[in-house]
C-alpha cells in the first residue's frame, strides 16, 4: 500500500484499506462455529478484536496477564452483545511457566480451537530480563507466543481434522520489523545489555513474529495440516502498548497525524486475516491494511527463519529445565 492509500484510506485489491474497521471487514461472516484465543484480548486492539469476533458469534478466550482488567473487558463485551461467549484465562507471555499453565487450563475446558491470534506484546521497554532470564521484548513478543503456539498446535490440528474447518494462526507483527539489529536476529547477544536498543529490540521481536509464521506455515504445509499461519501489521495506533514511550509517540503522532489509525481500524487487518473466506488456504503471508504486502529481506530469509526456529526450541527447552 502506498503512502497515498494509507492517508486517504483508498481500498486495495481486497476491497479494504487503512480506513476500514474490524466490523466492516467481517460484516456478514458467521463465526458461530469457531473458538478463538486472543492473547492480550482485554485492552487496545486486542479488546476490539475480541469484541468483533464475539459479535460475529465466535467463542472468544481472552488470554491476559491482568485478569481483573480482562474480566472488566469481558463485561463491556457482554453489555453490548448479550449472547456473547467470552471467557478469561490468565497468561503472562514473559513466563514459560505461565504459558504452560494457560495451556493446561485451556485444555481443561475441553473446547475445540479454530483460531489463535498472537496479539499481546510489550514495546520499547527498558532493558530487563524475564523470569526465565531472557530479554523481555524477545521473551514476551516472540518466545512466549512461539511456545504457546507449539503447545496448542495438536489441539488445532485435531479441531481442523474433526470439523473440516480450516484453522488459522495470526501473528501480530509490525512495520517496525524493518528497524532491527544487523543480521536481523542477534542470536549470540539476545541478553546483551551493553548494546541493547529498546527500538531495535522491539524490531527484532517483530521480525521474529514474521519469521515464526513463515517457518510454521512451511512445516504445516509439509505435513498437510489444514491450518494457515500469517502475520499482520495493524498500523500506527495509540494504545497502552506504548506506555514506555508515550511522550515520544505523542510527538511523532503530531507530525504524522495522517498516518495514524483509531482502534477499530487497527483491529481490522487481524480480523480480516482471521475470518475472511477468500483467504482459505493462504499461508505464510504478511498483511497491511487488509492487503498482502512484501516484508523486509530479513523477513523473507528462509535460512534465518529455520535458525530462529531451532534457537527458539533450544531456549524453550532450557527454561523447562530451570
Cell numbers given for 25 = 471487514
Catalytic residues: 196
C-alpha–C-alpha distance, residues 232 and 266, integer Å:
11
Asked if residues 5 and 289 have their Cβ atoms less than 8 Å apart, the reply is: yes
C-alpha–C-alpha distance, residues 103 and 81, integer Å:
27
C-alpha–C-alpha distance, residues 39 and 116, integer Å:
8
Angle (nearest 5°) at CA 64 between 62 and 67: 95
Secondary structure (DSSP) of 160-193? HHHH-PPEEEEEE--GGGGS-BTTBS-GGGTT-S
C-alpha–C-alpha distance, residues 244 and 242, integer Å:
5
Give SS3 for 107.
helix
Residue 115: closest CA among 56, 173, 176: 56
Beta-carbon count within 10 A of 194 CB: 6
Cell numbers given for 92 = 503472562
Beta-carbon count within 10 A of 196 CB: 17
Give SS3 for 47.
helix
Backbone angles phi, psi at 56, to 5 degrees: -85, 5
C-alpha–C-alpha distance, residues 174 and 172, integer Å:
7
Counting Cβ atoms within 10 Å, is residue 302 exposed (0-12), middle (13-18) or buried (19+)?
exposed
Amino acid at each position: 500500500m502506498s503512502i497515498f492509500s494509507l492517508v486517504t484510506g483508498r481500498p486495495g485489491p481486497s476491497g479494504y484499506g487503512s480506513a476500514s474497521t474490524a466490523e466492516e471487514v467481517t460484516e456478514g461472516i458467521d463465526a458461530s462455529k469457531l473458538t478463538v484465543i486472543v492473547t492480550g484480548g482485554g485492552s487496545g486492539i486486542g479488546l476490539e478484536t475480541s469484541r468483533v469476533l464475539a459479535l460475529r458469534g465466535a467463542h472468544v478466550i481472552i488470554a491476559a496477564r491482568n485478569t481483573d482488567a480482562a474480566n472488566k473487558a469481558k463485561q463491556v463485551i457482554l453489555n453490548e452483545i448479550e449472547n456473547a461467549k467470552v471467557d478469561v484465562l490468565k497468561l503472562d507471555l514473559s513466563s514459560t511457566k505461565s504459558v504452560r499453565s494457560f495451556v493446561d487450563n485451556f485444555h481443561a475446558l475441553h473446547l475445540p480451537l479454530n483460531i489463535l491470534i498472537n496479539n499481546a506484546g510489550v514495546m520499547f521497554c527498558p532493558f530487563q530480563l524475564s523470569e526465565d532470564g531472557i530479554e523481555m521484548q524477545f521473551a514476551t513478543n516472540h518466545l512466549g507466543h512461539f511456545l504457546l503456539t507449539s503447545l496448542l498446535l495438536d489441539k488445532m490440528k485435531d479441531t481442523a481434522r474433526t470439523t473440516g474447518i480450516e484453522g488459522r494462526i495470526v501473528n501480530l507483527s509490525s512495520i517496525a520489523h524493518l528497524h532491527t539489529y544487523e543480521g536481523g536476529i542477534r542470536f549470540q547477544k539476545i541478553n546483551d545489555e551493553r548494546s541493547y536498543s529498546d527500538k531495535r529490540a522491539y524490531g527484532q521481536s517483530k521480525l521474529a513474529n514474521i519469521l515464526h509464521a513463515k517457518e510454521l506455515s512451511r512445516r504445516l504445509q509439509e505435513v498437510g495440516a489444514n491450518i494457515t499461519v500469517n502475520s499482520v501489521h495493524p498500523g500506527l495506533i495509540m494504545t497502552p502498548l506504548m506506555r514506555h514511550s508515550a511522550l515520544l509517540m505523542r510527538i511523532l503522532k503530531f507530525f504524522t497525524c495522517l498516518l495514524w489509525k483509531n482502534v477499530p481500524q487497527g483491529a481490522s487487518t487481524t480480523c480480516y486475516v482471521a475470518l475472511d473466506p477468500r483467504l482459505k488456504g493462504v499461508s505464510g503471508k504478511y498483511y497491511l491494511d487488509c492487503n498482502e504486502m512484501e516484508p523486509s529481506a530479513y523477513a523473507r530469509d528462509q535460512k534465518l527463519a529455520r535458525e530462529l526456529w531451532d534457537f527458539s526450541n533450544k531456549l524453550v527447552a532450557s527454561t523447562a529445565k530451570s
